[in-house]
Structure 1
Amino acid sequence: MKLNFKLFVLLFMAMTMFNCETDDSGDYGSSQGINQEFEFGAIIQKDFIGTVVDESNIAISNATIIIGVKTAQTDANGVFIIEDADVQEKFAYIQVTKTGYLNGMKSVVPTEGGNSVAIMLLTETVQALPASNEILMPNGTKVTFNGGFEDAAGNLYSGSVHYSINHVDPSSPTIAKEMPGMLLGKTTSDEFEVLETYGMLHVSLTDASGNALQLATGSTAEIRMPIPTELTGAPDTIPLWSFDEGAGYWVEEGFATKTGSEYVGMVSHFSWWNCDASFPTTEFCLNVEDDNGNPLANVQVNLSFGINPFPVVGVSSSEGQICGLIPVGETITLVAYDYCGNEIYTNYISSSFTGSSQTIVISAGSAQPTVITGNFLDCDYNPITEGYVQLNYGALTSYTVIENGTFEISTLICNSDTSISIEGIDYLTTQSTGEIPFTLAQPITDLGTVISCNAVDEFFTYQVDDETPITSINVMGYSDTEGGFNINAVSGAGELHFSIDTTVLGTYTLADFDAFLYIADINLDTDITTTSNFQFVITGYDAIGGYISVTFSGDYVDDAGVTHSISGTIHSRRDS
């Protein structure tokens, strides 16, 4: 039988922990996300940041997130943060609710450091059950009800029945975001195995008032799901699995028979149903590093084996890690890509491999690593203690938690494309820096200090050594007659000034275009102060009314002969 590696997408990726749902009438709170039946390890605390979107990839705000006993709401960007959630070493269960959508449920293997979760909620479209007692979807998915219905108390129900139906195609590029749990199932012999999906189906039943219904005791329904044409070699019979929303995994119940290009089976209740083959697996983690052993985040890794049509796609976490389960006894091809889709690493995991982890090193010759660092302050200029950074690079967006006002991401530069944008959000107050352009550099891209405050759209900040950053919001930026621009600011500590005779985005030194920096409070005047390693990066120069953005860093010697490091960020509206 040919195996479809797309099936491992949720088991392999802790960074791509996506969404979906289960039976609307299930019990959400009983297990609190802790599974005592399978050996998932001891209870530990982990941090999570995630996004919740709809099927059009539009952010969903005010969705409720549950991990263990902790809850959170998504913000306007569809982002949630939950810290120190009780999970198990090899199992975390994320639950999402939002009116108008199926409940989202995702089971993942936690990684070291923060865990990033991407969740897609499926729309719940409720309509009346036809008199024929048949539901037919445009793709050929079909449900035929052969008996009666009952309410949540087990009483026979004879009124009008309403339904919603959703089908998840295993060939869908967003399957990992559309399905519930992870592809882990409990067999009829009480063994846990990884599943290979050939299609999933969700049906919910309600009365006219929205109260949950089920098939009556002793009644059945026939389900038919199309088999994707890519899955040649689909078995003649295949186990059926329902999703246990209390436990967070699939349970084997019956089987389906291949009839033409469909799988046909009989079910006695409704939640999520899944046509899956199962097979033994082993736990596995990939660690992605650069030549110096630094973890690399946001590196896409594809795994495939045999002639499967759907390779798994994983993305490394902030700690450079991707964890999950892989098949036993198969030679697996591993390919890593940068942000631009360039292949930067290829290797194999042998069929005889018995370890639990493997490290892949992305050499400097294959990609250009950089460490992005920065400081974020709130409206009162205090370090943000609970917030996140949204990094936009090309067509990709990633999210990183801000810890104690700072963040750090090790990632890759691709195709000499050094343009990124950053937005820092204070999760507690919803205040934002707004989207600020920056230019990537090697080996470090220092974003300096920026302010997450909706009322502040201009600032000049600097930090000496590890001292508290100094910020001015009284800033003016304007062009000059030398083909460059000037930025002036005033803080409680004195005047600040930066000028350079160019407006071209890029990285410059004090020797370029008469670059000049003056900060009165620390007696820094780059024309006369002893300095070294000074670098200025112009990351944005808009038309009048837009913004000028600059970062700077370097070393200088003060009046007492002591050497200090300094870094800063300037974000000024261009007034002329």
Structure 2
Amino acid sequence: MKPIVTLITVIGLVAILPGCKKSDHLPLKEPDPVTPDLSTRLSTSVSGYVTDAEGKPVAMAAVNMGNTDAVTDEYGYFSFSQELVPAAAALIKVSRNGFFTGYKTISPRTDGNGFVRIRLTPKALSGTFPATAGGEIVTADGTRIVIPADAVVSAANGTVYDGMVQVNCKNLTTTETPDAADFLPGDGRGTDNSGYLKALRSFGMAAIELTGSSGQALQIAQGKTASICIPIPAAMAGSAPQEIALWSLNETTGLWKQEGTAVRKGDSYCGNTTHFSFWQGAEGIPLVNFKARVVNEHGDPLANVPVSITVAGMPLNAGYGRFGYSDADGNISGSVFANRSLILQVMTPCAVAAYAQPFVTTSTAIDLGQVSGNMGQSLVTLTGTVANCLNQPVEDGYVQTYDHGFYNRIPVVDGRFSFTAMACSNLPVNIVAVDNLTNQQGEPQIINLVAGLNDLGNLTACGTSTMGNITFTIDGVTTTLNEPAMKMAGFYLVPPSESAANINTQIVTLSHNATSNPDISFQFDGNRTIGESHFVTEVFSPKFAGGRGYWPEPIPLAITEYGEIGGFISGSFTGKLIAFDNSAVHDFSCSFRVRRHN
């Protein structure tokens, strides 16, 4: 079966082809070899969304780009502004408990406003073995890992590890929807043994991770090797060569790196490795730079729309496919295969091609200019106005859309917004207006998107705070803590051996360093139930002598809100507390509204 190419918009992305015959190549010379320039830096902005395997938002994920860290909100949204990154390949890294680390590599544009969607792959415990004896793990999907005895060390410091080793392994195969490429690491580019950039035509990929009994990261010891076998997707078995290059993801640059070779054994590629990461068997193919701008029939840019590039005459995602998104101004750019007949497709969030345009690459860069056509019933425009709590136009804010794949953050400027994109029409979508200056938002609303103009009228960004706060009073003296000056969070504590009735929630401030006590911290029981079925028995705060106040009987606590991860936990309680050091009795009250972290 033949391959597909794909690109990553304003965020370079090259495609992965399962297999091409020589007759597919046009009779043109190959492009000059290129080494990636990772030292030159440029300033760029990028925003995006992090989701799980089902496309649901992943809140409170740690995101890194360049020298800046961010955290996803309840919609899975993150953003970086004017970040200095390598001009050839900028890396966005996403970490969240329970998932393999996500790596998305982009080809940044100077002063651009790029957009990405990153889908995290859930970890799957494939097996365990004692480090002193070594072991063989074979996953349900056919991935095979063999590690010799006494070959495992701590990834942090290289010390020998002799406990039980947990192996998390996931075979990364695509489905027939192009957005399945959102979970593939990197951008499909790699450097071969000569250091030249290539577009990778993949014949199988897997994520492999070793951890110890305490969850610590493990690796293969220096001088030792392990063996891996990665299944070849059935669709590519007929064109898979007998021997192929092995590539691992460089988790610092975001580019794949050629490391040795793998030999075909049955329907798998098998080879040796000295470390674990993301691995694939792939062929490196010459590439050229590509760019275009996606607009509607009026020349208005289409922002954040999915775009795929396939090899002409081949099915979408025949094997491992890739695709990307236009930036805020409709631009798409990246690297595609040289000397090919290709098809650019503008997609809807429902993975339906709304428009297609064929083009041919040679050995030099290609610029398609403006790409426009009849987008049919898939093109929607949202317009309206937003007022603040004083019924004045919101000067700095946004309208958030969410659900059914239509996740967008639409800027509000001087009280107005207008946004054109591809959507699955006639589906309900949630919207909420937010005022950045007052940290207020309105009530979420549900609208049914229709093709063409959707005038949302006047929205209100007022009524609910977007920031957390904790207020507590001891003997009439009140302390108020507010975000963003003070960081705070709620943690849903789930002991594995206890019943749901014993599950606690911890509310804590986070701004102090590791050697300092939080301004306030307490736990309450009663699971996530709304109402007064919760109790607290102690509060930790420097305001008490000894840093702790307690009461021998449970103090009732009322919960009025308990959101999903990234949403808010709200409640209050009042009672008496005894200072731990001097046994002084204090009147105490507390109200809180903090974001749920897990």
- Please give the TM-score of this superposition, normalised by the length of structure 1: 0.66
Cα distance, 1:239 vs structure 2: 0.8
Deviation larger for 195-204 or 251-260: 195-204
Equivalent residue letter for 1:204: E
Alignment deviations for residues 167-205 of structure 1 (CA, whole Å, 9 cap, x no partner): 212557454222222211111111121112222222222
User: Out of 338, 350, 371, which is 1:328 matched to?
Assistant: 338
User: What's the counterpart of residue 68 of structure 1?
Assistant: 66
Q: 1:5 is paired with a residue of what secondary structure?
A: coil
Who is 2:220 aligned against?
215
Q: Equivalent residue for 1:137? A: 139
Tell me, yes or no, if the aligned pair for 2:378 and 2:451 is still in contact at 8 Å. no
Letter in 1 for 2:200: L
Larger relative contact order (Cα-Cα within 8 Å, sequence gap ≥ 6): 2
Task: Give 2:116's aligned residue.
Answer: 117
* Match in the other structure for 1:128: 128
Change in CA separation of 1:197 and 1:412 when aligned onto 2, cut-off 3 Å: closer
**Residue matched to 1:410:** 420
1:399 aligns with 2:408: yes
- 2: distance between equivalents of 1:406 and 1:119? 29
Q: 1:237 aligns with which of 227, 238, 243?
A: 243
Amino acid aligned to 2:356: T
- Could you tell me whether the CA contact under 8 Å between 1:170 and 1:197 is conserved in 2? no
CA distance in 1, matches of 2:65, 2:262: 34
Aligned 8 A contact 2:348 2:422 in 1: yes
The residue that corresponds to 1:284 in the other structure is 290
Distance in 1 (alpha carbons) for counterparts of 2:375 and 2:206: 46
Q: Aligned equivalents of 2:349 and 2:55: distance in 1?
A: 19
Q: Describe the SS at the equivalent of 1:60.
A: coil
Judged with a 3 Å threshold, the aligned counterparts in structure 2 of structure 1 residues 441 and 59 are, in CA distance, closer, same or farther, namely closer
Rounded to whole Å, the distance in 2 between the matches of 1:340 and 1:56 is 13
CA distances 1:348-407 after superposition (whole Å, capped 9, x unpaired): 2124474432135434695686643333345565666765433359x4313134254543
Residue 353 to residue 187, structure 1, CA distance change in 2 (3 Å): closer
Is the 2:244–2:261 contact (alpha carbons within 8 Å) kept by the matching residues of 1? yes
1:282, distance to aligned residue in structure 2 (A):
0.8
Structure 1 residue 438, shift from structure 2 partner: 6.2
Q: Which residue of 2 aligns with 1:533?
A: none
Deviation, 1:139, is 0.9
Q: Are 2:12 and 2:187, in contact at CA under 8 Å, matched by a contact in 1?
A: no
Identity across matched positions, percent: 27
Task: In structure 1, list runs of 5 or more residues that go unmatched.
Answer: 18-36, 457-576
Amino acid at match of 2:216: N
Alignment of 1:302-313 (within 5 A): 302-305=308-311, 308-309=314-315, 310=317, 312-313=322-323
Looking at structure 2, the residues matched to 102 and 337 of structure 1 have their Cα atoms a distance apart, in angstroms, of 27
Conservation of the 8 A alpha-carbon contact between 1:143 and 1:223? yes
**Superposition deviation, residue 57 in structure 1:** 2.5
Distance 1:89 1:406, change over 3 A: farther
SS of aligned partner of 2:441? coil
1:345 and 2:355 are equivalent in the alignment? yes
Aligned-residue offset at 1:435: 2.2
Which blocks of at least 5 consecutive residues in structure 2 are unaligned? 15-34, 466-598
Partner of 2:367: 357
User: What residue is the counterpart of 1:317 in the other structure?
Assistant: 327
Matched, 1:225 2:230: yes
Residues 63 and 73, structure 1, Cα contact 8 Å, conserved in 2: yes
Which residue is equivalent to 1:43?
A: 41
SS at match of 1:263: strand
Residue-pair matches, total: 431
Contact 2:12 2:105 survives alignment (8 Å): no
* 1:12–1:325 CA contact under 8 A, matched in 2: no
1:149 paired to 2:158? no
Taking the aligned partners of 1:258 and 1:219, their CA distance within structure 2 comes to 23
Distance 2:75 2:47 in 1: 12
- Does the 8 Å CA contact 1:389/1:423 hold for their aligned counterparts? yes
Cα pair 2:247 2:258 within 8 Å, conserved: yes
Is this contact kept in 2: 1:300–1:338, CA < 8 A?
yes
Q: Does 1:163 align with 2:167?
A: yes
Name the CA shift for 1:44/1:433 in 2 (closer, same or farther; >3 Å): farther
Instruction: Tell me how far apart the structure 2 counterparts of residues 228 and 84 of structure 1 sit (CA, whole Å).
Output: 40
Alpha carbons 1:376, 1:384 under 8 Å: kept: yes
Q: Which moved more, 1:417-426 or 1:131-140?
A: 417-426
Residue matched to 1:474? none
Determine helix, strand or coil for the equivalent of 1:397. coil
Structure-2-length-normalised TM-score = 0.64
For residue 64 of structure 1, what is the amino acid of its counterpart?
A
- Contact 1:15-1:316 at 8 Å conserved across structures: no
Return the match for 2:383 from 370, 373, 381: 373
Q: Which residue does 1:275 correspond to in 2?
A: 281
Change (3 A) 1:298 1:189: closer
Is this contact kept in 1: 2:10–2:108, CA < 8 A? no
Structure 2 partner of 1:549:
none
Q: For 1:230, what is the secondary structure of its paired residue?
A: helix
Q: Which residue of the partner structure matches residue 424 of structure 1?
A: 433
Structure 1 pair 340/80, CA: closer, same or farther in 2 (3 Å)? closer
Query: Are residues 422 and 325 of structure 1, via their aligned partners in 2, closer, same or farther at CA, if it must alter by over 3 Å?
Result: same
C-alpha spacing 1:146/1:359, structure 2 compared with 1 (3 Å): same
Structure 1 Cα separation of the partners of residues 393 and 83 of structure 2: 23
Cα drift, residue 238 of structure 1: 0.9
Distance in 1 (alpha carbons) for counterparts of 2:202 and 2:280: 7
Instruction: State how far apart, in whole Å, the 1-side matches of 2:351 and 2:100 are.
Output: 33
